[in-house]
Amino acid sequence: MTELKKAIEHQRDYLEDKLHEPLAEIAGRLSAAWPRREALDSILEEAIRQIPEATFVYALNTEGVQLSDNISRTGVLPEHFGRDRSQRPYMKEAVPADGFLLSDAYISLLGRRPSLTSLQLVRDDQGNALGFLGADFDLRNLPDFSEDLYEEPSEWRQIKGDPSIRGTLFLQSRTESLMDQNMDTALAILEELFTERGVFQGVFHFSSSRATLWTTEDPYRYRILTHESLGDPDVCLAFPHEPYPAEALIPKEDVGRVLEALRALRYADETVYLRSASINLFNGMISLTFSCDGSHYMTWDDFLGRSIQFWIGATG
C-alpha cells in the first residue's frame, strides 16, 4: 500500500499549504470579536470568500461547542449555534504546535459524503487559546494536487478471507464443476481470446463455471461467458480479431503457461484448491482465490516461478 499512502500524503501536503495561511489570517481577525456571536458571524461571512472550497466555516470554544452560526457561501445557518462538536473525529485529533490541523477524512453527518475539516487555533493578544476556527470541506470540492492516478504496487500481496470458511476448510472437498469437465476446451478458448481477440482482463470462476471478460475495444463493459460458451469454440467468432497489445506486461507466449498453471492449481488438492483467478495483461498481475477464501496478488512471473507444492503449503 506504499504508493497509495504516498499519493494520499502528497495530496494532503498540497491542501495544507493551500489552506494554512488564509485560515491563520482569519483566526487572527476572530480574536478581537471573541466570543460575540454576531461579530464572529460577520467576520466569517466575509472570510469564506477567501476559501471558496469550504462548505461551512464556524467558531468553536476550546471544549468544541460552537460560538457562531454555520456560515456557508449561500448564507447563515443559525441552527448550528451552540452545537457540541467535541465528539466529531476532527476534535479528537491532536492539534500540532503551530495551531493548524487538517483532519483525516471522515463521512459527514449531513451529506453522508467523504469530507475533512481544518481547524486553526484562535489566540488572544497574550497567546492564550480562545478556541478554534473550523472549516468543513466536501472532498469533491477540493482542488487536486495531481491529475495522475497512483500506480498500483506490483509486490506480492496476500489477503485472508472469511474466517468461517477457513474454519471449516477440512470439512469440504472440491466438487467437479461443468468447467472442470471441459477444461481443455475452456482454456484453449480463453487463450485465443487473450492473445488474438482483444481480451485484456479476465476473472475465471472455476467453481461456478463462468468467466467475466473485458476487451480493449470496449473496456468499460464486461462480457460473461457461461460454461456453454466456454465449451464452444464458435464463441471466438463473436470477438473481433485484435493485435496483441504492445503495452501488455505479460508476453503473448506466456499467456498459455499462466492458464495451464491455473489448471494445475485447480486440480492440485481435493481440499485446498483454486476457486477463482484473474489475469490482467496491462499490469501483469495474477490473482488467486483458494477454497480457504484466501487471496493472493502477484506478477505473472512470480506466479510461474512457484511450484504446486508451494501453493498448497502457502494456502493451507
Q: What is the per-residue pLDDT across 217-251, written as a single tens digit (0 to 9) for each?
A: 999 999 999 999 999 999 999 999 999 999 999 99
Please give the model's pTM, rounded to 2 decimal places: 0.72
Mean pLDDT of the chain: 88
Q: Give the range among 137-141, 154-158, 174-178 with minimum mean pLDDT.
A: 154-158
Whether residue 73 is found in the same domain as residue 174: no
Whether residue 169 is found in the same domain as residue 55: no
Cell 493548524 belongs to residue: 100
Last residue of a domain, one of 107, 141, 175: 141
Whether residue 222 is found in the same domain as residue 131: no
Q: Write the CA distances from 82 to 102, 111, 195, 274, integer angstroms.
A: 23, 20, 65, 58
Q: Which residue has the higher pLDDT, 151 or 203?
A: 203
Q: Which residue has the higher pLDDT, 311 or 287?
A: 287
> How many domains does one find in the chain?
2
Whether residue 115 is found in the same domain as residue 162: no
Domain that residue 305 falls in? 157-315
d(CA 47, CA 256): 63
From the list 19, 21, 89, 32, the residue with the least C-alpha distance to 59 is 32
From the list 113, 99, 79, 112, the residue with the least C-alpha distance to 24 is 99
The answer, yes or no, to whether the previous bond of 52 is cis (omega within 30 of 0) is: no
Q: Residue 4 falls within a domain, yes or no? A: no
Q: Residue 146 falls within a domain, yes or no? A: no
